[in-house]
Structure 1
Amino acid sequence: MKHVELDKLDQRILEVLQRDGRISNQQLAAQVSLSPAACWRRVRALEESGVITGYSAHLAPERIGLGLCVLVNLSLQRHTIDSTAEIERQVSSYPEVLQCFAVTGNADFVLRVIVPDMVSYDRFLNEKIFTLQGIAQVNSNFALREIKNTQTIPVGGAMT
């Protein structure tokens, strides 16, 4: 995928939109010192180039009964393209899995799973994870408390 060059105005637009995706174009334009038409064109270009991939609401999982967060390490028996692709397809279909990463190190995949409680997690393991073909080992790490959870990507030198 091609890298998109962002100027200072694009960076500022992205910073504001990551904080408030529901901001009106008028308000966004005022915050970044652009005309509404120019601001709209820039946001549209960022969407069309794939820099902005969507907009969503952030939820508090514990407020809706999903208070158990588990980081699950999966290790495979064999590493073939077909078996790996099938596991990726299956795991991606599970609503309990919020994130799935193919990783290096002690596991092949790390999943971020959210469920109501331990009973639900046990059911998730038995009915979904343990039924996957080619899994050699499953290791569960239960989150005690959340220290940082953000989808905000630093733009414009924020990582230096």
Structure 2
Amino acid sequence: MDGVDFRIIHELQADGRLSNQDLADRVQLSPSPCLRRVRRLEEAGLIRGYTAMVDQSAFGLPITVFVRIRLERHTGDAVRVFEEEVGRIEHIQDCYLMAGSSDYLLRIVIESLEAYEVLVRTRIHAIPGIASIESSFAFGSVKQTRTYPRPGKLLRSTGAS
């Protein structure tokens, strides 16, 4: 990837609905080479798809819960079952495998505290092998982005290696 590829990705992260002409103008390419680069980035798996950013509250899911999960055992079967079950729960938006005192960190969006209680009691507690569940509720969002920074930019700007 070169600087033009990074600019293409940056522009598409900011606005995935850009026409090829507008994208080409923003990255200072003619349309044909720009389209070839976008297709190459898609084929390489760097661009995995395009989506609409939806306002979570307006959509009816105003509550964000971060849930730390610790498993009783870390056998291959226990991990596989947990991860498969988590994949089936649509309110779980993200699931991260963690280092530290928790094994997993989940980000859940939900419509109410009552609905969260039902989700925990009926879906999450039903997953075998969970030792502990710890929930933290977000009061608000200070920053939320899906635009990645350019790798290495911070190190280059500070002179660190």
Please, what TM-score do these two structures have when normalized by structure 2?
A: 0.93
After TM superposition, list the pairs within 5 Å mapping 1:84-99 onto structure 2: 84-99=79-94
Whether the aligned pair in 2 keeps the contact of 1:76 and 1:136 (CA below 8 Å) is yes
Aligned residue-pair number: 155
- Counterpart AA for 2:149: P
Cα separation, 1, equivalents of 2:109 and 2:121:
15
Asked if residue 63 in structure 1 is aligned to residue 58 in structure 2, the reply is yes
Aligned pair partner of 2:124 in 123, 129, 142:
129
Whether the aligned pair in 2 keeps the contact of 1:11 and 1:156 (CA below 8 Å) is no
Deviation at 1:159, TM superposition (A): 3.3
Asked if residue 47 in structure 1 is aligned to residue 45 in structure 2, the reply is no
Whether the aligned pair in 2 keeps the contact of 1:8 and 1:156 (CA below 8 Å) is no
Cα separation, 1, equivalents of 2:46 and 2:140:
31
- Counterpart AA for 2:112: D
Q: 1:158 to 1:20 in 2, by over 3 A?
A: farther
Alignment deviations for residues 60-111 of structure 1 (CA, whole Å, 9 cap, x no partner): 1111210110000010000001110111111011110000001011110000
Whether the aligned pair in 2 keeps the contact of 1:74 and 1:139 (CA below 8 Å) is yes
Whether the aligned pair in 2 keeps the contact of 1:67 and 1:116 (CA below 8 Å) is yes
Deviation at 1:158, TM superposition (A): 3.9
> 2:111 — aligned with what?
116
Q: Which runs of 4+ in 1 moved over 6 A?
A: none
Asked if residue 78 in structure 1 is aligned to residue 73 in structure 2, the reply is yes
> 2:158 — aligned with what?
none
Q: Secondary structure at the match of 2:73?
A: coil
Cα separation, 2, equivalents of 1:77 and 1:58:
37
- Counterpart AA for 1:82: D
The two structures, once aligned, show a CA RMSD in angstroms of: 1.0
Alignment deviations for residues 119-153 of structure 1 (CA, whole Å, 9 cap, x no partner): 00000001111000000000000001111111111
Q: Is there any run of 5+ residues in structure 2 with no aligned partner, and where?
A: 156-161
Whether the aligned pair in 2 keeps the contact of 1:101 and 1:110 (CA below 8 Å) is yes
- Counterpart AA for 1:21: G
> 1:14 — aligned with what?
9
Alignment deviations for residues 26-72 of structure 1 (CA, whole Å, 9 cap, x no partner): 11011111111100000000000011011101111111210110000
> 2:98 — aligned with what?
103
Aligned pair partner of 1:148 in 139, 143, 148:
143
Identity of aligned residues (%): 39
Whether the aligned pair in 2 keeps the contact of 1:70 and 1:141 (CA below 8 Å) is yes
